[in-house]
A and B are shown apart, each in its own frame.
Chain A
Amino acid sequence: DTGVSQDPRHKITKRGQNVTFRCDPISEHNRLYWYRQTLGQGPEFLTYFQNEAQLEKSRLLSDRFSAERPKGSFSTLEIQRTEQGDSAMYLCASSSSGSGETQYFGPGTRLLVL
């Protein structure tokens, strides 16, 4: 296990198209987080899972965004009807569920919506 992985690393799409990103966490980690980072900003929290349960969603996550973690392992983040404002780096992180556990980040998926 070499850490958190994300696929694809880059995605270019046209406005209005749907896109799906995948995150594979570190195998023994039961928490998985999604963040979004735009130019000049720090990462912003989107949502997180403990095992397969989605426990919190940010107000940043509009109805066009949906995330799943069906078997408590990998997770997908889907954006429907993409808009130019969705262009960003999407980061995934995982951790154990103890309080204050370190979050380990993936390399991110960079999305460009034309």
Chain B
Amino acid sequence: AQRVTQPEKLLSVFKGAPVELKCNYSYSGSPELFWYVQYSRQRLQLLLRHISRESIKGFTADLNKGETSFHLKKPFAQEEDSAMYYCALSRKSSGDKLTFGTGTRLAVRP
């Protein structure tokens, strides 16, 4: 069975500091990995996905199959990045249903 682990419940950084939100997964096949974000009083929305290999709002994430990780990084955090971040995994053979981690709350202090 697949599993997604986000070890940090809360990550607090100062504005301008680098950010790394950790995500590890367990799955024997070839998963697709995503980061979803939920800003205060907004719905869950896709931030980025590993297959697109793009940077969204300055965030990047690289899939490391050897370490089974998909950490989310941003070099300079902004206050508007404060939100709940969820790492998620899906597999094509199961209708692309998502398996989520427990989430990390990012708090960016001024």
Give the number of residues in A that approach B within 8 Å (Cβ atoms): 27
Contact with A along B74-110 (1 / 0, CB 8 A): 0000000000001010101011111111110000000
Is A25 an interface residue when CB atoms closer than 8 A count as contact?
no
Using a CB–CB cutoff of 8 Å, the interface residues on chain B facing chain A are: 4, 9, 32, 43-46, 49, 51, 86, 88, 90, 92, 94-103
User: A35 to B9, alpha carbons, bound, how many Å?
Assistant: 21
| Given A43-B86, A45-B99, 19 more pairs with CB closer than 8 A | A3-B43, A31-B96, A33-B97, A40-B9, A40-B102, A41-B103, A42-B86, A42-B100, A42-B101, A43-B44, A43-B100, A45-B98, A50-B95, A55-B95, A100-B32, A100-B90, A100-B96, A101-B96, A105-B45
- 8 Å CB contacts to B: which residues of A56-101? 56, 91, 95, 99-101
